[in-house]
Each structure stands twice: as structure tokens, then as C-alpha cells.
Amino acid sequence: MTPYPFLMEKDTPIRQMSALLDPLVKAVRSRVVSGLDYVELRADDVVETSIELRESSIESVTRKFECGHSARILKSGRWGFAVSDGVRDVSETITEAVKAASALSRTAVSDTSLHGVKPVKMDIPSKARIPLNEVDLAEKVSYLTSICRNATKADRRMTTTKASYSDITGDRVLVTSEGTEVRQSLSHAYLKTSASGNTSGRLVSARDEIGTVTRGWERFTEDGSGDKIVERLARKARLQMDGVSCKRGTHPCVISPKVSGMLAHEALGHLSEADLFAAGAFNGLEGARVASEAVTMVDSPWIEDGFGNITADDEGVLPKTVTLIDKGLIGAQMTNREWAARLDIEPTGNARAESYRVPPLIRMRNTYFERGDVSLDEMLEDKKFGYYCVDVSGGQAESNSSFQVSIQECYEIVKGELGRPVRSLAISGVATKSLALIDGVGRDFDFESSYCGKLLQAMPTSDGGPHLSFKKGGVVFGGSA
Amino acid sequence: MSKACATETAVLHVLDEVVASARRQKVAEFDAYAICTRTRRVTIERELVSSADSIMATGLHVRVCVDGKVGGASCNEFDRRATSECIDHAVRIANLMESDKNWSGFPSSSKKYPSVSGLYDTSVASLDVPVMSMMAEEMIDGARSVSKDVSAPYGAVESTGRTVGVTNSSGMRSVMSETELQALICCVAGSGESISPDCEESGQSRSCDLRIDKIGERAGWIAEKSTHILDAKTEECDVVFSPMSLGAGNDGLLNVVLSEAFSGQNTHQGISFLAGRLGEPIWSEHVTINDNPLLSGRCGSRPFDDEGIAAQKTRLVNKGTLVGYVWDSYHGSISGEGSTGNAIRDLSSGTVGAAPLCLQVMPDRGSMKSLIESVDHGYLVWGCQGSHTSNTETGGFSFVASPGLLIKNGEVVGGVRGSMVSGNVTDLMKNVERVGADVVDFGSALMPSILFRNVKITTG
């Protein structure tokens, strides 16, 4: 029996998909689009459920209803974009976008064109086995409470546990003046948990995140997922409590799939986004060797349980896998239609928008290093002293390929064996130099789900790979924070 | 403002709708927060203005209390149907919750609002795309004036007119309108091995008084300086932090960490390194910090918080001694401290918590240049790459100085690559040597440049 019998309500169904699609189709076929190079209309009608828990107390349960649309237009090679709430007056929104584009100064960009694509008409149903909007709030709260309670029980030094859960269900549509119509049922969910404690007067904290954009509630309940979260949280918090400080400077190291994923995404992936490539460290290095032949890195639109999975991008392009580093050589760039036209290459389906409120940007999906053939033991055995970085809590990269990654689980490597845990720290490096110092690519694979920020848009992505081994000089350890 | 603007009309209308719907639906205890924003933006891409956006956005968050049980819902449509459904869902969620024994009701408007001038400027509200395009070009020209080697891969100029309103069943009804002009540019210089990092510079103001060309010039200057790469070493030394590296909303080190640490809600829950330390001399005596949302024309200024409670100036640190936290009404009531008018509402998660409205690190004297001149050997941190990963509960941080520059004999002599700065905010603030007078308005913070002693620098 649920311990929360007072929370027995399922989400309310929202309006029909056709009510969202029809006004857009009508507007894109109206006179208002005549004379325009391109019109792209997007609309969302979604319900977001948010639950905030601290220990066993519910801090907040909120349901948010959001319905709105946007128009992105290209007129005489100039972009205009307008947003409005609801799905009424779509023609007026197009007119507003046209006004904006027309008002740009004479010196503004006026040669924008789009790579041609075949229009698609597709329905993308949710693959959720247990739809998120059909699960009682009680069950969700009970699940979160159990994680918070068990995490605190796992170690008495942990004083505060928090859980922030949100899911989004509903419909998203895309209609273009070229005849593309994409209808998608959304099933997004994300859970962030944290545990904080105090040991010998020193505060510590650890966190864990899981999410899905393809599955339903089963993502949180299958395979003992809740127990695994507790186990990970408790382990990471204990390490923070018992860990030693890291020695500042550069050391040989091994990084886990989660950390290699962060490196793939932050330090290398962003540099391969076409809109950032030209001003970045990879510019002029097309086809150049930056790593050994063992290193290959891709951005894929679909992996099993990937948080960055898409079936079509937000310009209606069917997405492709892009090989960003091909056997150590700088490879292809991720593009949208605009950049594909500029570079005269096929679009890769990387145009993604957080919601109808913002225009699509070139974004990664699931970015990872391909497997190699070295075992973790083999990577460790030749290191007299170094570090094994296991889990991350965030990171950031610059266009000059400088990267910073915060590490929340780390161990010393002493004479080829794992040693003492190390308190939270951050690592950094310059990716174009670090890549050349990879001396082992693991035969395993895993990935992390997280949100990536670019120009204030948060996008679900997965980042992963195998274990990677670095020589001294590849990674700088900034000392425990 | 003699005539109600469009956003104000919309907010007043929806607040009336909430009150009428609550009456119809026999909801006795409720509060509502409404926001309507009109934004115009021109975007810079590859040194050219590339697009123009026009965005109208609305949001409504409603909380109701039924027999001590609180539920919330939000929506983004302001019509009668959406408002009514929003209240209905909030009631349904409230009915499903357990009674909150700490609930003491929605706050009443017992205190007169302070007079805060300079929040709305019609010249910002009426800025159109052609003028904003010219401003963007002026900013690009400012960057290029430094060197032909400088380019501007991205940037934007944005004007916002916004109205925020709060009403509740305790008689609260408050509406304010505000404007904001923001400009941002990212510059890079050099190529290959000597390419600079992303050098961002921004400015924001309630009025049109922004020196747009100077924003471009500053970004261009730092990019150009960063191409002369010099060796750094692992050491502890003097470091000057720019206002941006400390105060920017997303990644300014002090803004990121202290906004959470001063929250009474977090101190009450024991997840702030400042918890339980009131009255203690925790930092350098050069440090005095207020939360001050009452200053004229500042971007973080406002007469009331997100619950409609009068905003106030709150001293947080006085010459190094911790003297206060900030509170919303609920957590202030539980703790016995009372509200300081610092409620912040998250429309997505539905949470109402406490945070500083405008963190003001009190300036002392001198410009950033004079701080640099007082350093024989050290670094200038212009941006903190990865400071958003700082641990706001413990105060721990470890980021890359990017851009980071080497100071020799009182002068910036070149850029450094991959230099990490690590430590704990408590230790850092104990080592404040001088606070500059060059305050920059980041909206949620008013920040000068600061010179710290004994900062840990690590290089590869």
C-alpha cells in the first residue's frame, strides 16, 4: 500500500494533437507567408509535473501547463523570429517575425540560405511502456521519499537529502513552408538527488542524476533503479567524507566512461559544432591528427536509453551519426541546414530547440568515444602514482579547447592499484594537447545523462565512452575544493 | 509612467481573473504571481547582425491553501479558462497533500513599499530593431577598434519591458513594471596555438545609458591581451578578480556561491557553509556585503519580492562579521526570523525560496587598474570557466581562469592557459586585500573588482 494515500491523482490529459497542428498548417498555407524564403512554425502543448522533496517532506508539488507557438522566417536572406502564447493568431506571429527581419539594418547578414531537404511527414509516438502521466503522484512521491530516506540511513553522517523530479508529457509539432509536418509525443523525465553531510566540521555533498526522453516511468523503477541511486549517492558522499586532498599539478590518470563522456562533450564536441568551429581551436585543423589511431569519437542521434535521442531534429531533418574524430584525425562537423548550406555538406540533423520559445541551435545528441581494446587493469598497472576519476558533477569548455570538469568520485592510483579516495576536485586541460596524450582506450562503455547549456538553452544529451588513460601532462588536477 | 504599458495591462487583467476565479471556485486562501515580458533582441553572429527576435511571454503561478494543505499550479496563458483551470489544479493538488503544521498563511501587505526610482524607462521599452541593430554594430566596432586581429563570433543586444504582479487572499495586490537593456559580446583573437579563449563582456541597465562601444572595447582588449601566451606556475599568489568573474549571474564566483549561502532557507536546512555562524568574524574586515534592492536605477532593484512583501536593505556581512541572512515568509516564519522581503519564485518547480535580490559587495577605492598596479607578481582573472560547478553548500571551488592574465610589476603582460584556481570561498574572503570602487551592475549583484592574497594557482 502506498504510504501516501492522499496523493492519488493522475495527470490530466491535455488538448488533442490536431488542435495544436491545425492552426499551424492553416497559417503556413495562408497568404501571410507569400514572398518569404522559408517559414518554420513550432508549437508545444505540454504538462510539466515537478516534485521537490527534502528528507521525507514534500516541499512542493506543482503542475505547469504550457501552450505556445513560434515562427521563424527567412526573408531576403535574413532571419526573423517571434513567439506567442497559445496557438491562436499564428498568422500574427508570422507577421511579427517578418517585421523583425525586415527591420534589420542594411549591413546585417542578408545571404542566409538553407540546404535543401526532402520534406517529411511523420508521427513520433512516445515509446513509454508506463506513460509518465498515468502514474499516480503518490507513486512518484513514494519512490522519491524512499530514495531520500534510504540515502540518509546508509550513512548517519548524512544530514540532508534532497530530490528534485520533473517530467514533461504532451505534444510538440513542427510545420514548415516546405511541407514538413512532424508530430511528436513527449515523455521527458529527470531526477536529481543530492546528499549532504558533516564530518569533523567539514561539509560535504554528493549528487546523482538520471533522465529519459524515450521511456516512461519504467526508467525509474526497472532494475532496482532507486536502490542504485541510493548506493551511488551513499558511496559518493562517503568518499567526500573519508577522502584525502588531491595533489595539485599534472599526473598520469585514468578516467571512467562518465568522465570521458564529459571530455567528449565539453572539450571536443562543442568545437565540432559548425557554428563554433570557425572561431575555435579546430579551425584550420580539418583532417589533422590530434590523437592516436585508437581514438574515434562520434555524435549519434540514437543509442539505447540515450538522453539525447531524437528521431527528427527541430528543422525536420532526419538525423545522422557524425564522426567528429576519425581514428585520431579531426573529422566532420555537426550542422543545421543553414551551416550545411554554408559548408556545402549534407545537414546532420543537429538543429535542436529547448522549446518553441527559442530558435533551434546546433546541439549535440549522444556524444561518445568509441571502444578500444585495453582493460581497466592494464591501464592501471603501469602507473606508479596517478588518479582514477570516476564521476563528474559538471564541466565547461572554451572555444580554444580549454576544458574544466568537476570530479565528485576519485581515487589515488598507487603502484598500479587503486588507493585512497580523493575529495571533490576539478580537472582541466587543453583538449587539442590532451588528446595526443591518450595512451589507452578501454574496451568497456557507459554514458551519463545530463543537460547541456548553450546560449541559455538547456538540452538533454548523453555523453560517454570507454575508460581512457592519459600520460602525465594530459590532465591538470586543480586540488581539492 | 503615466499610461499603463501593454505588459502591465495584461498582468492587471490576469490578477483580476485570479481573484474572480478564486471567488467563483470558493477558494478562500490563495496567492498568485504573474509576469508578462516583451523582449526584442538582435543577435550577432560572425561579426554581423544575423537575426531579430520579438518575444512575448507570460507566466502565472498560483498557490492555494485548503485546510493547511498547500498546492500549486502554473500556466502561460492569461485567459479566463486557463486561469480557472490553474486554480482548479492547485486546489486538487492541495487536497491531495498533508496539512503543513508550519503553514502560517499567505503574507499580508502590512508594510508600505519603499520608493525605488528608475525602474522603468520608456526609451528602453520603445527601442526598435533598427536602433538595436546599430547598437550591436557599435559594439562590434568597439571590439575591432582594439585590433584587426579581434573577431566577435557571437553577441546580442536585448531590450526587455516586464511587468510583475502579486495578489493574494490577505489583501496583497502589487504591480511593478521595469525595463532592462542588455548587451553581450564575445571576442576572440589570434589563431592556432595562440588563439585566445572566449572573452565575454556584458553590460546591463534600466535605461539607455549603456556605453555600448566600451563593452566591445573591453572584450576586444582582453582577447588581444590573451594571445600573448606566457608560462604560469603552480603557486600561491596575489590575484585580482574582475567584477565579471565575481558578479556575473551564471558564472560569477561570488554571485553563484553567495546567493545560495546567504539564503535563510539553506542555512536553516544546514546546507550552507554560513549556517550557524551569525555574529562570527568570518572574513576579512575589508568585506561588507548588503542585499540592497532599493538603489535607484539598478537592475536588481525592486519595491517588493515575489510574494509581494516590501523589499528592504539587509546587511549580511559587516566588516568581515556575518550579521544576517535573507528570508522568505515561510522559512522566515519557521525560523522565527521573519521575512526580509527576499522570496524568489520558480515558476517551473513551483518552489518559493529565499535568495538575495541584489547582492551588493560594498566598494572601497580605486579602479581595477589600481589594484593591478599594486601587484608585483600575480594574475588577473577575467572569467571563471566552470565556476558554476562550485559547491554552494561547502563553498568549495575549482575553476580555470579563462581568460587569465599574468601581472608583472603592476602591469598585465600576457595571457596564461589552463591555470586553475581552487580553494574555498571562506578562505578566499579571509584573504581580501583590497576592494575596488569600479562597481558593475549584473542585476542580481553589484560587484567591484577585488584583490585577494594567497590564492592557489595550479598549472600543468
Tell me: do B170 and B204 sit in the same domain.
Answer: yes
Q: How far apart are CA B268 and CA B281, in angstroms?
A: 20
Tell me: do B149 and B126 sit in the same domain.
Answer: yes
Tell me: do B121 and B175 sit in the same domain.
Answer: yes
Q: Cβ of A105 and B137 within 8 Å?
A: yes
Q: Is residue B1 part of a domain?
A: no
Q: Is residue A151 part of a domain?
A: yes
Residues A465 and A369: beta-carbon distance below 8 Å:
yes
Q: What angle do CA B339, B350, A214 make, to 5 degrees?
A: 155
Residues B249 and A453: beta-carbon distance below 8 Å:
no
Q: Is residue A7 part of a domain?
A: no
Q: Exposure pattern of B256-291 as b/e (b: 16+ CB <10 Å)?
A: bbbbbbbbbbbbbbebbbbbeeeeeebbbebbbbbb
Q: Which of A191, A214, A242 is the last residue of a domain?
A: A242
Q: Is residue A4 part of a domain?
A: no
Q: Is residue A2 part of a domain?
A: no
Residues of A in contact with B418 (CB under 8 A): 402, 428-430, 476
Q: Cβ of A79 and B273 within 8 Å?
A: no
pLDDT at residue number A480 = 60
pLDDT at residue number A15 = 55
Tell me: do B204 and B241 sit in the same domain.
Answer: no
Among chain A residues, CA nearest to B394: A203
Residues of A in contact with B234 (CB under 8 A): 248-249
Report the candidate in A456, A274, A276 with the shortest Cα–Cα distance to residue A357.
A456
pTM for this entry: 0.90
Q: Cβ of B271 and A160 within 8 Å?
A: yes
Q: Which of B219, B241, B276 is the last residue of a domain?
A: B219
Tell me: do B393 and B251 sit in the same domain.
Answer: yes
Q: Cβ of B234 and A477 within 8 Å?
A: no
Q: How far apart are CA A423 and CA A236, in angstroms?
A: 10
Tell me: do A332 and A233 sit in the same domain.
Answer: no
Tell me: do A147 and A284 sit in the same domain.
Answer: no
Residues B229 and B414: beta-carbon distance below 8 Å:
yes
Instruction: Indicate the pairing of strand A297-300 with strand A366-369.
Output: antiparallel
Report the candidate in B53, B57, B58, B56 with the shortest Cα–Cα distance to residue B40.
B53
Q: Tell me the nearest-neighbour CA distance from A68 into chain B, angstroms.
A: 8
Tell me: do B134 and B242 sit in the same domain.
Answer: no
Is the pLDDT at B1 greater than 60? The verdict is: no
Q: Measure CB to CB from residue B422 to each of A103, A138, A479 and give the nearest one.
A: A479
Tens of pLDDT along B199-226? Answer: 999 999 999 999 999 999 999 999 999 9
Residues A64 and B74: beta-carbon distance below 8 Å:
yes
Coil, strand or helix at A431: helix
**Domains contained in chain A, number:** 2
Tell me: do B124 and B234 sit in the same domain.
Answer: no
Tell me: do B277 and B192 sit in the same domain.
Answer: no
Cβ count within 10 A of residue B350: 28
Is the pLDDT at B127 greater than 50? The verdict is: yes
Q: Cβ of B153 and A276 within 8 Å?
A: yes
Tell me: do A223 and A306 sit in the same domain.
Answer: no
**Domains contained in chain B, number:** 2
CB-count burial class (<10 Å; 0-12, 13-18, 19+) for B26 = exposed
Q: Is residue B117 part of a domain?
A: yes
Tell me: do B405 and B432 sit in the same domain.
Answer: yes
Over residues B80-84, the mean pLDDT reads 92
* C-alpha cell belonging to residue B144: 575591432
Tell me: do A264 and A218 sit in the same domain.
Answer: no
Tell me: do A218 and A265 sit in the same domain.
Answer: no
Q: Which helix (H) or strand (E) holds A99?
A: helix A90-102
Tens of pLDDT along B42-63? Answer: 999 888 999 999 999 999 999 9
* C-alpha cell belonging to residue B412: 598585465
Q: Which of A194, A222, A242 is the last residue of a domain?
A: A242
pLDDT at residue number A6 = 43
Amino acid residing at B20: A
Residues of A in contact with B96 (CB under 8 A): 6-9, 61, 137-138
Please give the C-alpha separations between residue A434 and each of A190, A430, A476, A478, B196, in angstroms, as whole numbers: 32, 6, 10, 16, 18
Check which CATH number belongs to the domain holding A225 and give it: 3.30.2290.10
pLDDT at residue number A205 = 84
Q: Tell me the nearest-neighbour CA distance from B160 into chain A, angstroms.
A: 14
Q: How far apart are CA A181 and CA A175, in angstroms?
A: 5
Residues A90 and A27: beta-carbon distance below 8 Å:
yes
Q: Does B424 touch chain A (CB under 8 A)?
A: yes
Q: Exposure pattern of B373-399 as b/e (b: 16+ CB <10 Å)?
A: eebeebbbbbbbbbbbbbbbbbbbbbb
Residues of B in contact with A38 (CB under 8 A): none
Q: Cβ of B56 and A84 within 8 Å?
A: yes
Q: Cβ of A398 and B198 within 8 Å?
A: yes
Which DSSP letter does residue A318 get? P
The domain of A392 spans: 249-480
Q: Does A99 touch chain B (CB under 8 A)?
A: yes
A67, A133, A404, A427, best to mutate vs chain B, most B CBs in 10 Å: A404
Residues B261 and B425: beta-carbon distance below 8 Å:
yes
Q: Measure CB to CB from residue A406 to each of B197, B348, B386 and give the nearest one.
A: B386
* Phi, psi for residue B65 in degrees, rounded to 5: -125, 125
Is the pLDDT at B235 greater than 80? The verdict is: yes
Q: Does A38 touch chain B (CB under 8 A)?
A: no
Residues of A in contact with B46 (CB under 8 A): 278-279
How many angstroms separate the first and last alpha carbons of chain B?
A: 57
Q: How far apart are CA B313 and CA B303, in angstroms?
A: 11
Q: How far apart are CA B392 and CA B326, in angstroms?
A: 16
Tell me: do A129 and A159 sit in the same domain.
Answer: yes
Residue located via cell numbers 520559445: A357
Cβ count within 10 A of residue B57: 17
Q: How many residues does chain B have?
A: 460
Q: Which of A242, A270, A295 is the last residue of a domain?
A: A242
Q: Tell me the nearest-neighbour CA distance from A442 into chain B, angstroms.
A: 24
Instruction: Give chain A's largest Cα–Cα span.
Output: 74
Which DSSP letter does residue B193 get? G
Q: Does A160 touch chain B (CB under 8 A)?
A: yes
* C-alpha cell belonging to residue A379: 591501464
Tell me: do B80 and B204 sit in the same domain.
Answer: yes
Instruction: Give chain B's largest Cα–Cα span.
Output: 73
The domain of B16 spans: 6-219
- β-sheet bridge partners, residue A461: A450
Q: Cβ of B396 and A481 within 8 Å?
A: yes
Q: Judged by CB atoms within 8 Å, which residues 292-331 of A form the interface with B? A: none
* C-alpha cell belonging to residue B20: 474572480
Q: Which residues contact B331 (CB under 8 A, 6 or more apart)?
A: B264, B265, B268, B353, B354
How many angstroms separate the first and last alpha carbons of chain A?
A: 44
Q: Does B318 touch chain A (CB under 8 A)?
A: no
Q: Is residue A330 part of a domain?
A: yes
Tell me: do B35 and B147 sit in the same domain.
Answer: yes
Q: Cβ of B75 and A428 within 8 Å?
A: no
DSSP letters along B294-362, please? TSTT-TT--SB-TTSPBP--EEEEETTEE---B--HHHHHHHTS---S-EEE-TTT--EEE--SSEEEP
Q: Cβ of B52 and A248 within 8 Å?
A: no
Report the candidate in A199, A216, A205, A245 with the shortest Cα–Cα distance to residue A425.
A245
Percent of the residues in chain B that have a pLDDT greater than 70, as a whole number: 99
Q: Which residues contact A194 (CB under 8 A, 6 or more apart)?
A: A161, A162, A205, A206, A207, A208, A233
Cβ count within 10 A of residue B209: 12
- CA B8 to chain CA mean position, Å: 23
For B444, what's the count of Cα atoms within 13 Å in the CB-facing half-sphere? 19
Q: Does B398 touch chain A (CB under 8 A)?
A: yes
Q: What is the pLDDT tens value at each position of chain A, 481 positions in all?
A: 333 444 445 554 445 667 899 999 999 999 999 999 999 999 999 999 999 998 778 888 889 999 999 999 999 999 999 999 999 899 999 999 999 999 987 778 888 999 999 999 999 999 999 999 999 888 999 999 999 999 888 888 888 899 999 999 999 999 999 999 999 999 999 999 999 887 777 778 888 999 999 999 999 988 778 999 999 998 888 888 889 999 999 999 999 999 999 999 988 899 999 998 888 888 888 999 999 999 999 999 999 999 999 999 999 999 999 999 999 999 999 999 999 999 999 999 999 999 999 999 999 999 999 999 999 999 999 999 999 999 998 888 888 888 999 999 999 999 999 999 998 899 999 888 899 999 999 999 999 888 998 888 899 999 999 999 999 999 999 866 5
Q: Does B399 touch chain A (CB under 8 A)?
A: yes
Tell me: do A234 and A325 sit in the same domain.
Answer: no
Q: Is residue A11 part of a domain?
A: no
Q: Judged by CB atoms within 8 Å, which residues 385-424 of A form the interface with B? A: 393-400, 402-406, 424
Amino acid residing at B3: K
Q: Could you tell me the pLDDT band of residue B3, with boundaries at 50, 70 and 90?
A: low
Q: Is residue A3 part of a domain?
A: no
Among chain B residues, CA nearest to A206: B391
Tell me: do A291 and A419 sit in the same domain.
Answer: yes
Q: How far apart are CA A125 and CA A131, in angstroms?
A: 11
Q: Does A235 touch chain B (CB under 8 A)?
A: no
Tell me: do B203 and B232 sit in the same domain.
Answer: no
Q: Measure CB to CB from residue B458 to each of A12, A248, A406 and give the nearest one.
A: A248
Sign of the four-CA dihedral B232, B198, B196, A293: positive
Tens of pLDDT along B304-353? Answer: 999 999 999 999 999 999 999 999 999 999 999 999 999 999 987 888 99
